[in-house]
Structure 1
Amino acid sequence: MRTNEYDDRDRERIVPEPPKRVDAPVRTPFERDRARVVHAAASRRLAAKTQVVGPQSDDFVRNRLTHSLEVAQIARDLARALGCHPDITETAALAHDLGHPPFGHNGEQVLDALSEPCGGFEGNAQTLRLLSRLEAKTFDADGHSVGLNLTRATLDACTKYPWPREIPGTKFGAYADDLPVFTWMRDGRTDHRTCVEAQVMDLADDVAYSVHDVEDGIVADRIDLTGLTDPGLRREVWQTTRDWYLPDATDDAFEEALARMQTQGSWQRSSYDGSRRSLAALKNLTSDLIGRFCGSVQAAMVATYGSDSFVRYRADLVIPDETLLEITVLKGVAAHLVMRTDERREVMTRQRELLAELVAGLVDRPDRLDAAFANDHGDAIDDAARLRVVIDQVASLTDASAHAWHERFVGTA
């Protein structure tokens, strides 16, 4: 890795910081960024936020924190192989889910609808808000929080969707009142292109949750890969995969992608039974799939660009179509066999009701907000700004604390 590929503008912070005292450990600006995200309160809260199976359901299955650690490992290894800065990319991976509210994407959809009067809700926009405002570490000369005061390159790498809200219901990366920091971060760019470090983070996220959600579903006895020998079940899975991910893909394309993965020696030939041998076989499959996907991308990058370092906007990540289809097949398996079950639908309905009732209760009684959010509410200039503060508060809660707040302030959760 050639660190001189990053210049002073990449290392710039919104609030300039003096060098650390001479007896402190010497760290690069990007290493300091990583440490700030690791120690952030929002990072700790990820341990009690839903991944796919709820965090209280089993000691083995993943929560948002363990998922983020695994994404960070994949992102760091891939960044090192490609020649972009591993600290920047790892920090982006550690931060990528910080903005997720209670109950994962289900909670995200509820808060988006409820916050329409103040510009909607998006987990990635909320991540930028946390990193640049809500996480208390640094203040500017006017007394305003600038959050963790990360470097421009790191903050940009954390932004999967580098544009403000354009169409309700679509992804975006910044709320209207966060546009000043967004504009500073983008440093004059007006296009929608993401830096390569953000693209690596995004791929690492896709790889991790496609593989690990299937692994968690297997351990939780929701998924049996040997059941995919049933043509009828496969047809159902392919339809869910189209509904959720790739609407234009054909059954034949999915069948071919599954068949390619099944040629791996570690693919499950018998049902998981909870034994150490079975668990070891499952972990080997997980490792092989991650290596398969990342290796194909690395080879495609070298074939496209040669062996140069891929830094900031020098290149775009190349993901072979076959690899994308294989990743999507795994997502579809988890979506159909875990997230589309009747039991899961009932749980998700109650989660949506709980969050809606909690937001309404806090809008009526803002005195119940935590002190930091109560101060924000007092400083808000209109109803839209006050609603945004309530949404910030609710989004900060874990799954368990959302239930507790609801029980305390609304009724039996």
Structure 2
Amino acid sequence: MQRFSAPYASLPAQSRGRVFPETEEDFRTPFARDRDRIIHCQAFRRLKHKTQVFVYHEGDHYRTRLTHTIEVAQVARSIARALGLDEDLAEALALAHDLGHTPFGHAGERELDALMRPFGGFDHNAQSLRILTRLERRYAGFDGLNLTWETLEGLVKHNGPLVSREGDPVGRYRERGLPEAIVDYVSGHDLELASFASAEAQVAALSDDIAYNSHDIDDGLRAGLFDLIDLGDVPLVGEALATVLREHPNLEADRIVHETVRRVLSAMIHDVISETQRRAALYGPGSAQQVRDLAVPLVDFSRQMIENNRVLQSFLNEKMYRHARVEDIMVRARRVVRDLFEAYLHDPGLLPVPWRELSREHADDLRARQVCDFIAGMTDRYALTQHKQLFDVDPLFR
């Protein structure tokens, strides 16, 4: 059913299984079922109207969370196939990686985190875990989607270990500690937070970087936040642009952009494949577990590509993410999130049923988390509609 060539690939037949045992199917592996359940869940559908960088009213051709996620999944499958990994697991993780994001992109997340500080904060990775293990309520026998251990592990650890071997939080969690949602979950279902995740999860993480670094160039140019000439000195992008102009001197602007972006995308994909093959030869992992036990990630960019991406990210931060047009909308978007949170927290009767009844039964911290879950699940336009109904103003567009 699957084509495996890497000895360190995750094997569906050796999956650690699901919290609630189910009879597996002959025509779909456990990881393929995970992927399909993610695609069919409500949280995945809502990504269609959640901001990537540009709020939906700014145009129909910019990436949303959904189109970004589909692009990540395509990149992940391509890399996994080239490396002889389980494509279904890599795709499932790519499709799930942004489920926990709030409306209005990172601006919405920052505001919700600030509002939730007295109640444990907000983290989109932890929120994805809550969605997949608790908040999706569709199946008769369990809450969540009852995904395999490997998919949940990869979702939580796709960017690397969350704690040291001694149990101390590391990386982004070093200062504030692990989110309560992750701590609570692993107390009953150990996801081995001190180790790396599978090679497939690492592929999904790098595919996210590849996709947004590439498509943000496209969207930024389309929005007029910077010009082609500005990219000339950006490593990798400038080289790709120079190649296109040399090979196609009379090409119209839109095609120049596409040809440049696709060369950047291909270069990053080939770099990941090449570097991972080099590391596999160096470290010689003979199983998926040995990938987890390594002291460094198996799947990564080369040092040169890491530097290229650092410079590109610096360029995009300055020219795009911090552009006055983008920041102005995001300041207003944060106000939408803040107004909704404060209104629902102080008057749970404003919440729709069944959220209203659940919220009334909770103490302050649990009620705040309930409100947080509700707002985090909103699409951009639903949040704006709710805000207009409650306050009769349109803060995003005035």
TM-score, normalised to structure 1's length? 0.81
SS in 2 for 1:393: helix
- Is residue 283 from structure 1 mapped to residue 258 from structure 2 by the alignment? yes
Describe the superposition over 1:96-145 as per-residue Cα deviations: whole angstroms up to 9, x where unpaired.
111100111111111111111221001111111111111113365xxxx5
Q: Does the 8 Å contact 1:362/1:368 carry over to 2? A: yes
> Residues 225 and 323 of structure 2 are in contact (CA less than 8 Å); yes or no, is this contact kept in structure 1?
no
Residue equivalent to 2:144: 147
Contact 1:48 1:63 in 2 (8 A): yes
RMSD: 3.0
Letter in 1 for 2:120: G
Q: 1:208 aligns with which of 198, 207, 211?
A: 211
Which amino acid in the other structure matches residue 95 of structure 2? L
TM-score calculated relative to the size of structure 2: 0.84
8 Å contact 1:223–1:334 — kept in the other structure? Answer: no
1:38-61, CA deviations, whole angstroms, 9 ceiling, x for partnerless residues? 111111111111111222312221
Match of 2:11 in 1: 6
* 1:64-119 CA-partner distances (Å, limit 9, x unpaired): 10000000000111112222211111111111111100111111111111111221
CA gap of 1:166–1:409, structure 2 versus 1, over 3 A, is farther
Post-superposition shift, 1:372? Answer: 4.1
2:309 is aligned with 1:327: yes
The Cα shift of 1:309 comes to 7.2
2:183 corresponds to 1:179: yes
Seen in structure 2, the aligned counterparts of structure 1 residues 261 and 350 have a Cα distance that, compared at 3 Å, is closer
Distance 2:11 2:128 in 1: 24
Contact 2:119 2:369 in 1 (8 A): yes
Q: How does 1:359-378 map to 2 (within 5 A)?
A: 359-378=341-360
Residue 361 of structure 1 deviates from its aligned partner by 0.2
What whole-Å deviation, never above 9, does each CA across 1:5-50 have from its counterpart, x for those lacking one? 5266625111112356xxxx82111111111111111111111111
Structure 1 292/392 Cα, relative in aligned 2: closer, same or farther at 3 Å?
Answer: same
Q: Is the 8 A contact 1:114 1:356 kept in 2?
A: yes
- Is residue 102–residue 109 contact of structure 2 (8 Å, CA) maintained in 1? yes
Alignment of 1:13-162 (within 5 A): 13-19=18-24, 26-138=27-139, 145-159=142-156, 160=158
Q: How far does the alpha carbon of each residue in 1:162-202 deviate from its partner, in whole angstroms, 9 at most, with x for none?
A: 54895998489964255343345544x25153332222111
* 2:329 partner amino acid: V
Q: Are 1:343 and 2:325 matched, yes or no?
A: yes
Distance in 2 (CA, whole Å) between partners of 1:260 and 1:169 is 28
Distance, in Å, in 2 between the alignment partners of 1:319 and 1:39 is 32
**SS at the partner of 1:356?**
helix
CA distance in 2, matches of 1:167, 1:402: 34
Contact (CA 8 Å) 1:366, 1:377: kept in 2 or not?
yes
How far residue 293 of structure 1 moved from its aligned partner, in angstroms, is: 0.9
Q: 1:174 to 1:132 in 2, by over 3 A?
A: farther
- Are the counterparts in 2 of residues 55 and 62 from structure 1 also a CA contact under 8 Å? no
Gaps of 5+ in 1: 230-254
For structure 2, the residue ranges without an aligned partner over 5 or more in a row are none
The answer on whether the counterparts of 2:162 and 2:173 sit within 8 Å (CA) in structure 1 is no
CA distance in 1, matches of 2:119, 2:41: 26
Q: Distance in 2 between matches of 1:298 and 1:70?
A: 17
Checking the alignment, whether the CA contact within 8 Å between 1:266 and 1:284 is kept in structure 2 is no
Post-superposition Cα deviations, 1:177-228, rounded to whole Å, max 9, x if no partner, equal: 55343345544x2515333222211111111101100111111222212134
Distance in 2 separating the partners of 1:42 and 1:170: 25
Superposed displacement of residue 313, structure 1 = 4.8
Corresponding residue for residue 198 of structure 2: 195
Go from structure 1 to structure 2 and tell me whether the alpha carbon gap of 1:29 and 1:19 turns closer, same or farther (over 3 Å shift): closer
Partner of 1:262 in structure 2?
A: 238
- Aligned partners of 2:115 and 2:311: how far apart in 1? 32
User: Is the Cα contact below 8 Å between 2:120 and 2:179 reproduced in 1?
Assistant: yes
Q: Bigger CA drift: 164-173 or 337-346?
A: 164-173
CA contact (8 A) 2:231 2:238 kept: no
In structure 2, do the counterparts of structure 1 residues 173 and 205 end up closer, same or farther at CA, with 3 Å as the change threshold? Answer: farther
Question: Does the 8 Å contact 2:126/2:181 carry over to 1?
Answer: no
How many pairs align?
A: 372
- Greater alpha carbon shift after TM alignment, 297-306 vs 64-73: 297-306
Range 69-78 or range 53-62, more displaced: 53-62
Tell me the equivalent position of 1:292. Answer: 267
1:398 to 372, 379, 398: 379
Per mean C-alpha deviation after superposition, the further-off stretch among 47-56 and 210-219 is 47-56
The farther-off stretch of 366-375 and 396-405 is: 366-375
Question: Structure 1 residues 259, 394: closer, same or farther in 2, change over 3 A?
Answer: closer
| Residues 184 and 225 (structure 1), Cα distance of their counterparts in 2 relative to 1, 3 Å cut | farther
- Kindly indicate whether the alpha-carbon contact (under 8 Å) linking 1:358 and 1:410 is maintained by their aligned counterparts in 2: no
**Contact in 2 for aligned 1:113/1:120 (Cα 8 Å):** yes
Contact 1:261–1:267, Cα closer than 8 Å, also in 2: no
Instruction: State the alpha-carbon separation in 2 of the partners of residues 269 and 182 from structure 1.
Output: 53
Q: Contact 2:154–2:198 (CA<8 Å) still a contact in 1?
A: yes
